[in-house]
Every structure is written in C-alpha cells, then in structure tokens.
C-alpha cells in the first residue's frame, strides 16, 4: 500500500483484498477545491440537490447540460411526452460523468455551498 493511502487504510476501498482490484476505486481528496474549501466534504440536504426528475421514479434523474454519462448504467432517455432524463439503471453509489462545461458545473455547485 502506498504511503499516501496508509492514512485511509480503514476505508474498505483501500483494502482491496475483499474486492476485485480491477473494479475498485478510491478517490483521493484534493488539498483545496475551486471554491477555497478543503477539497472534500458533504452537502447539507436541500431539495435542489435531489437529481430525481420531477414526476418520475428515483432512477430517472434530471439532465444537467454540463454532464455526459461515462457509465453504461446511466443512459439518456426521453419520456413519451418528450421530457429528457438520465436513467440511472438502478442502484449505485457513484456514477462517473464527464464535465463538458466546468464553469456551468461550478455555478451549479456554488448554490449548495453557502
């Protein structure tokens, strides 16, 4: 185990003995984020944080124009009435998205920080 991971050895994704290493990821926090913060943390819940698309099930997420899915389990879809959404494909802890516009992402994130 690398020295930088030693301090996180309590975390189950650092100890890959019990999980397939090729499917295991551990993301190291940044020393500082784009907003002057510590680079990691949690949000206090606000309804605007909920990605569920209004009127649809929890696996149907609002589309955010700066995100592009990079996971086969998250697929863009459209309802019969033409409403666009991302289908999360069921349970999942984390889904990876490519950010197409960092500025729009930052504007969206700042709403939850203060």
| Domain region containing 23 | 1-29
pLDDT of residue 114: 57
Number of structural domains found in the chain: 2
Nearest to 40 by CA among 56, 58, 27, 53: 27
**Are residue 13 and residue 68 in the same domain, yes or no?**
no
- pTM, entire model: 0.58
Taking only the tens of pLDDT, the chain with its 114 residues reads 778 778 888 887 777 666 666 767 777 777 777 777 777 777 788 888 888 888 898 888 888 877 776 666 677 888 889 988 888 766 665 666 777 888 888 888 888 775
pLDDT of residue 18: 60
Helix (H) or strand (E) holding 107: helix 102-113
Distance of CA 7 to the CA centre of its chain: 23
What is the C-alpha to C-alpha distance for residues 97 and 77, in angstroms, rounded to an integer?
Answer: 16
**Are residue 14 and residue 53 in the same domain, yes or no?**
no
**Are residue 54 and residue 71 in the same domain, yes or no?**
yes
**Are residue 58 and residue 80 in the same domain, yes or no?**
yes
**Are residue 5 and residue 36 in the same domain, yes or no?**
no
**In this structure, are residues 53 and 64 in contact, taking their beta carbons and an 8 Å threshold?**
no
pLDDT of residue 17: 67
**Are residue 96 and residue 42 in the same domain, yes or no?**
yes
Nearest to 106 by CA among 12, 26, 32, 34: 34
What is the C-alpha to C-alpha distance for residues 49 and 37, in angstroms, rounded to an integer?
Answer: 19
**Are residue 37 and residue 83 in the same domain, yes or no?**
yes
């Amino acid at each position: 185990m690398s020295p930088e991971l030693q301090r996180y050895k309590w975390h189950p994704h650092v100890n890959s003995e019990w999980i397939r290493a090729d499917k295991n990821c551990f993301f190291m926090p940044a020393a500082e984020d784009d907003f002057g913060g510590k680079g990691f943390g949690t949000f206090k819940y606000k309804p605007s944080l909920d990605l569920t698309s209004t009127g649809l099930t929890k696996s149907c997420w609002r589309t955010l124009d700066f995100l592009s899915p990079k996971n086969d389990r998250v697929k863009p879809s459209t309802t019969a009435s033409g409403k666009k959404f991302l289908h999360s494909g069921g349970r999942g802890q984390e889904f990876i998205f490519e950010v197409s516009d960092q500025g729009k992402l930052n504007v969206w994130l700042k709403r939850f920080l203060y």
